[in-house]
Amino acid sequence: MSDFIAALQRPHLAAITPYQSARRSMSGGSVWLNANEAPATPAFPEQEQWHRYPSFQSDALNQAYASYAGVSREQVLSCRGSDEAIELLIRSFCEPVSDAVMITTPTYGMYAISAATHGAAVVDCPLQQAASGDLQLDVAAMLARLNDQTAAPVKLIFVCSPSNPLGNEVDAAALRELLDGVGERALVVLDQAYIEFVDPGSSQRDCATWLADYPQLVILRTLSKAFGLAALRCGFAIGQPALIEVLRKVIAPYPLPAPTIAGAEQALSATGLNAMQAQLADIKVQRQRLLDDLRSRSWAQRIWPTVTNFVLISVADAQALVAHCQAQGVLIRNQSSQRGLGECVRISIGSEEEMNQLLEVLPQ
């Protein structure tokens, strides 16, 4: 194991031998009587394998995602959405009470919630206004807090890019500056749930290649967004093999159901990838259509830059706008509780028909 990852993990994990499930400890054979499974699935006789526990980690699925992401299979852990990966990282590297995670608000809310439920401290280094007008990392403040010897040590730094709820990308140069400054003192967790929506020319599309230079980098991905598989709950943690081995100690014996594995493998096939790219193109058309329309609506005070499948809008009264749309059957999200986003709403990009309905109910 890499020395610094061994030093960062919670000390008691070094002595833990992970649970050896029936699927993890044995393979082969033609008669499986080692897992206390039923001989069949009575309610679904056509499903020949549903009575069997799935693989602890599907080699086929992890290889498929590794090929897609441009990494090795040993650098991939599949889990129940990237939300589980967040939990695993906190459970693996943060001692309750004594350790901390760093977030950069406004950002995805589960980083702080997962840390709080585990008992880890949450350090907020808010995003700052950049010369471009959008919000970006305050790297100086982040490193200053990391260097503070009097405060709880920061073990994990969560960076969401493309950002939820903002919709923009974190500046790649700032991200490299952060990684250089952090060194081996903490893990930088780059949440790329929306990475497929980013244009191919973006440097962040190739962030997985940064792992060779930055072993402290962990990348989170999901099939919930661009792949349209939110109901299947399939995500991935990508990092150094030593880090993946730590997470394998903590993850449940059978994290993904067999139907999820099958669906994910299909989505990552050549046919599935082509279908995903076709839907991406449609989403971008509908996103541009919404952006063009919003520019004519007087209540849209600010349309935040976006590279994702949603648009953030500053309005005069977010609650009133959300209630107006809800009354007519269209649900949009009030983001006003987010730091720095008072009176903001977020609108997801749906199908052409769904966007037609939205545009009909939005006030002029």
Kindly tell me the sign of the dihedral angle through the C-alpha atoms of 87, 88, 89, 94.
positive
- Please report the pLDDT score of residue 3 as a whole number: 87
Residue 46 covered by a domain = no
Residues 166 and 254 in one domain: yes
Residues 110 and 243 in one domain: yes
Give me the percent of the chain exceeding a pLDDT of 70. Answer: 100
SS3 214: coil
| pLDDT at residue 221 greater than cutoff 60 | yes
Residues 310 and 260 in one domain: no
Residues 335 and 208 in one domain: no
Q: Which of 217, 252, 268 is the last residue of a domain?
A: 268
Residues 298 and 201 in one domain: no
The boundaries of the domain holding residue 128 are: 3-21+56-268
State the pTM of this model.
Answer: 0.95
Residues 299 and 204 in one domain: no
Residues 329 and 219 in one domain: no
Residue 86 covered by a domain = yes
Encode pLDDT of 144-193 as tens digits: 999 998 999 999 999 999 999 999 999 999 999 999 999 999 999 999 99
Residues 183 and 296 in one domain: no
- Please report the pLDDT score of residue 323 as a whole number: 98
Residue 120 covered by a domain = yes
- Please report the pLDDT score of residue 206 as a whole number: 87
Using CB atoms within 10 A of its CB, is residue 182 exposed (0-12), middle (13-18) or buried (19+)?
A: buried
- Please report the pLDDT score of residue 289 as a whole number: 98
> Structural domain tally of the chain?
2
- Please report the pLDDT score of residue 132 as a whole number: 83
Q: Which of 268, 289, 319 is the last residue of a domain?
A: 268
R_g of the chain, CA atoms, integer Å = 22
Residue 194 covered by a domain = yes
Residues 105 and 213 in one domain: yes
Type and span of the H or E element at 158: strand 154-160
- Please report the pLDDT score of residue 318 as a whole number: 98
| pLDDT at residue 291 greater than cutoff 70 | yes
Residues 290 and 248 in one domain: no
Question: What residues have CB less than 8 Å from 266, skipping those under 6 apart?
Answer: 272
Among 10-19, 105-114, 176-185, which stretch is predicted with the lowest mean pLDDT?
10-19
Among 19-23, 49-53, 62-66, 295-299, which stretch is predicted with the lowest mean pLDDT?
19-23
- Please report the pLDDT score of residue 364 as a whole number: 87
Question: What residues have CB less than 8 Å from 186, skipping those under 6 apart?
Answer: 8, 102, 146, 153, 154, 155, 156, 157, 216
Residues 132 and 262 in one domain: yes
CATH number of the domain to which 202 belongs = 3.40.640.10
Residues 159 and 289 in one domain: no
Residue 293 covered by a domain = yes
Residue 208 covered by a domain = yes
Residue 351 covered by a domain = yes
CATH number of the domain to which 324 belongs = 3.90.1150.10
100-125 mean pLDDT = 98
Q: Which of 268, 290, 324 is the last residue of a domain?
A: 268
| pLDDT at residue 53 greater than cutoff 60 | yes
Residue 187 covered by a domain = yes
Among 30-34, 166-170, 200-204, 205-209, which stretch is predicted with the lowest mean pLDDT?
200-204
* Mean pLDDT score across all residues of the chain: 95
